[in-house]
Amino acid sequence: MASKDDIIAQQAEQIDDLTKRIAVLELQLAKAWKNSPNSSKSPSSDIVKPPKKKTDRRKKAKRGGQRGHQRKLREPLPPERVNEEITYEINAADVRKLGLTPTDDFEIIQHIELLDLPIHVG
């Protein structure tokens, strides 16, 4: 069995080794945290750009309908105001190719072209 003096000497050596290792790790950590704002280093030497400071601005809403809001559609024009009608049908091969599920529902889409710009000179 080891004597008390041997155990103390072994522990002192271990403490010395750990103290040296802590010093090396602290130096590595200090180097890792060093960047252009907190040292004389140039900004181009930063490995990673520092995160942008958070602003208090709210995010801009995305275009189109917003989640949770009821969809609002414009009333279709009456038939007497429609100049041309085009009916599109999709064949069975395209239905299979696109992975669509056939239904008996259909949708009317109206396309309006503005041919001339109204000009008013006053």
**pLDDT for 26-79, tens place per residue?**
998 888 777 777 777 777 777 666 667 777 677 777 787 778 888 888 888 898
Tell me the pLDDT of the chain averaged across its residues.
83
Domain count within the chain: 1
Q: What are phi and psi of 27, to 5 degrees?
A: -65, -45
Q: Confirm whether 11 is domain-assigned.
A: yes
For residue 19 the two structure tokens come to: 């103290």
CA–CA separation, 28 vs 44, rounded Å? Answer: 20
Q: Confirm whether 16 is domain-assigned.
A: yes
Q: Confirm whether 116 is domain-assigned.
A: no
H helix or E strand, kind and range, residue 33: helix 4-33
Question: Which residues are within 8 A (CB) of 51 and not within 5 positions of it... i.e. 6 or more apart?
Answer: none
Q: Confirm whether 14 is domain-assigned.
A: yes
Is pLDDT above 90 for 6?
A: yes
Q: Which pLDDT score is estimated for 49?
A: 63
Domain range holding 38? 1-48
Percentage of the chain modeled with pLDDT above 90: 21
Q: Confirm whether 75 is domain-assigned.
A: no
Q: Confirm whether 44 is domain-assigned.
A: yes
Q: Confirm whether 38 is domain-assigned.
A: yes
Per-residue three-class SS string for the chain = CCCHHHHHHHHHHHHHHHHHHHHHHHHHHHHHHCCHHHCCCCHHHCCCCCCCCCCCCCCCCCCCCCCCCCCCCCCCCCHHHCCCCCCCCCCHHHHHHHCCCCCCCCCCCCCCCCCCCCCCCC
Q: Confirm whether 63 is domain-assigned.
A: no
Query: Is the model more confident about 18 or about 69?
Result: 18
* Total-model pTM: 0.33
Half-sphere exposure of 42 (CA within 13 A, CB side): 2
